[in-house]
Amino acid sequence: MEYILVKHRFRSSVKDLQTLPGADIDSDHNLLVAKVRTRSKKIIRFQKSRPRWDLEKLFAQRQRVQDTVEEKLGAIECESGNAEVQWKNIQECVLDTISDLVGKVENRVRKPWITWEMISKMDE
């Protein structure tokens, strides 16, 4: 008989099991070979959250931002060469304008878990 000790979690992963002839020794043990198919668990790491643009300011200053971007794009020389260089120039113009005029959203301060009022009530 063939017995192999596998944790319950991996029992369905064992696909094939064979015994191999052992050495000529006085023993009742046989060498077992198993084919096992397992997949590694994907570990999800926390990603840094990107700072977001302040959309309320963007909508409030929509016309001003649009005019500034158009001015900067008009000042860029049109190169008929590399499309990648043109895209980088457009991206820089838009990002510079938005960072100057709009800015990023500031992180909201969370409420403290225990306030001073709660501590004073506990002391009473």
For the stretch 84-107, pLDDT in tens is 888 888 898 888 888 888 888 877
The answer on 62 and 97 residing in a single domain is yes
Write phi, then psi, for 67 (nearest 5 degrees).
Answer: -65, -40
pLDDT class of 80 with cuts at 50, 70, 90: low
* pLDDT score of 69 more than 70: yes
- Cβ–Cβ under 8 Å, residues 65 and 101: yes
Q: Which CB contacts under 8 angstroms, 24+ apart, belong to 50-58?
A: 51/104, 51/105, 52/104, 52/105, 53/98, 53/102, 53/103, 53/104, 53/105, 54/102, 54/103, 54/104, 54/105, 57/101, 57/102, 57/103, 58/98, 58/102
The answer on 61 and 28 residing in a single domain is no
The answer on 28 and 66 residing in a single domain is no
* pLDDT score of 1 more than 60: no
pLDDT class of 37 with cuts at 50, 70, 90: very high
pLDDT averaged over every residue in the chain: 82
Within a domain: 113? no
Structure tokens belonging to residue 49: 């959250």
- Mean pLDDT value across residues 41-55: 80
Contacts of 73 (CB under 8 A, 6+ apart): 90, 93
* Residue 51 or residue 11, greater confidence: 11
Note the pLDDT of residue 2. Answer: 61
Within a domain: 124? no
The answer on 62 and 28 residing in a single domain is no
Within a domain: 117? no
pLDDT class of 6 with cuts at 50, 70, 90: confident
Within a domain: 119? no
pTM, to two decimals:
0.46
Within a domain: 2? yes
Closest to 100 measured CA to CA, from 58, 60, 56, 63? 58
Please give the residue range of the domain that contains residue 62. Answer: 55-101
Within a domain: 41? no
pLDDT class of 116 with cuts at 50, 70, 90: confident
Q: How many domains does the chain have?
A: 2
The answer on 59 and 32 residing in a single domain is no
